[in-house]
Amino acid sequence: MNNEILTITENRALTDSVYLMRLAGSRGENRPGQFSEFRLEGLFLRRPISVCDDEGGVLSIIYKTVGRGTEQMKFLKEGDTLDALTCLGNGYDLDAAGESPLLIGGGVGVPPLYMLAKELIKKGKKVSVILGFNTRSEIFFEDEFRALGCSVTVTTADGSYGARGFVTDALPETASYFYACGPKPMLAALCEKASFPGEVSLEERMGCGFGACMGCSIMTKGGAKRVCKDGPVFKKEELIW
């Protein structure tokens, strides 16, 4: 964990309610699947947001406005600073990827997969991505994944773009491994349906974000685990749904 004061260099809307923020001053030590906890004005608890990218001293995050904290974030301007705890959580296990890993993201579960895809491609893997959204207007980052060289499938629940249905409807017969992030029902369905091994990133309400308060505990097959410190990424076979 690092405590870093980061300076906003960009903060713009990707859709009606999803924003991309870039912050300078990062030590560049975040791994894919890790998250940061941001202190916001007038709020007691920090807000956890996944790392979307961390390169060249710039930390990128993508957030959806759902409440007081994220609504406040969208009004922050270039030059404003944020106090962040960074490099939190275990991150994805890149060694498990095999040759042709599949990355599956739903909604604001998509962002952490970007840095993961980038790292996997650097390692010479053939990366496929399934991005699931409710409807066409909510789609973001499709082009960014393509630009990395991933093979991309987009699903929309209402069929307004790409394949109609959920990410699980677009699941291929085989892949060497899967990495997923998204809403809990999606992850549960995925773990049930995927015949190949994989891991998923979970969310829980957090008190601290670094393992001290036991606020985020879940029961797994290997006993009680803290989502913030032992996770947020857990192997499929560890989880109890």
Partner 1 sequence: MVNTEVDLCGVTIDNPVIPASGTFGYGYEFAELYDINILGTFSFKGTTKEPRFGNPTPRIAECTAGMINAVGLQNPGVQMVIEEELPRLKKVFHKPVMANVSGFSVGEYAYVSELIGREEQVGWIEVNVSCPNVHGGGMSFGTDSKAAAEVTRAVKKVTDKPVIVKLSPNVTDIAAIAKACEDAGADGISLINTLLGMRIDLKTKKPVIANVMGGFSGPAVFPVALRMVYQTARAVKIPVVGMGGVSSAEDVLEMMAAGAAAVEVGAANLTDPFACKKIVEDLPRAMAKYGIKDLNELKGVR
Ligand X SMILES: Cc1cc2nc3c(=O)[nH]c(=O)nc-3n(C[C@H](O)[C@H](O)[C@H](O)COP(=O)(O)O)c2cc1C
Query: Residues in the site for ligand FES, rule: CB under 6 A?
Result: 206-209, 211-216, 226, 228-229
Give the tokens for residue 123. Answer: 């390692």
Residue 9 binds which entry of partner 1, ligand FAD, ligand X, none, CB below 5-8 Å type-dependent = none
Per-residue x/- marks for ligand FAD, 88-117, CB under 6 A?
Answer: --------------------x--x------
Residue 35 forms beta bridges with which residues? 50, 88
Residues forming beta bridges with residue 156, ordered by sequence position = 133, 164
Residue 24 is inside which H or E element, if any?
strand 18-24
Are 114 and 145 contacting, i.e. CB atoms less than 8 angstroms apart? yes
| Residue 49 engages ligand FAD in binding (rule: CB under 6 A) | yes
3-class state of residue 69 by DSSP: helix
Residue 206 touching ligand FAD (CB under 6 A): yes
What is the dihedral sign for C-alpha 1, 200, 70, 42? negative
Beta strands in 118-197, from DSSP E residues, in sequence order: 128-133, 151-156, 163-164, 178-181
Binders of partner 1 among 153-192, rule CB under 8 A? none
Stretch 166-225 residues interacting with ligand X (CB under 6 A): 207, 213, 215
66 or 213: CB nearest ligand FES = 213
Contact letters for partner 1, residues 27-46 (x by CB under 8 A): ------------x---xxxx
Q: Which residue has the tokens 């959806």?
A: 64
Interface positions with ligand FAD (CB under 6 A): 35, 45, 47-50, 62-64, 66-70, 108, 111, 203-206, 232
Q: Which residues bind ligand X (CB under 6 A)?
A: 207, 213, 215
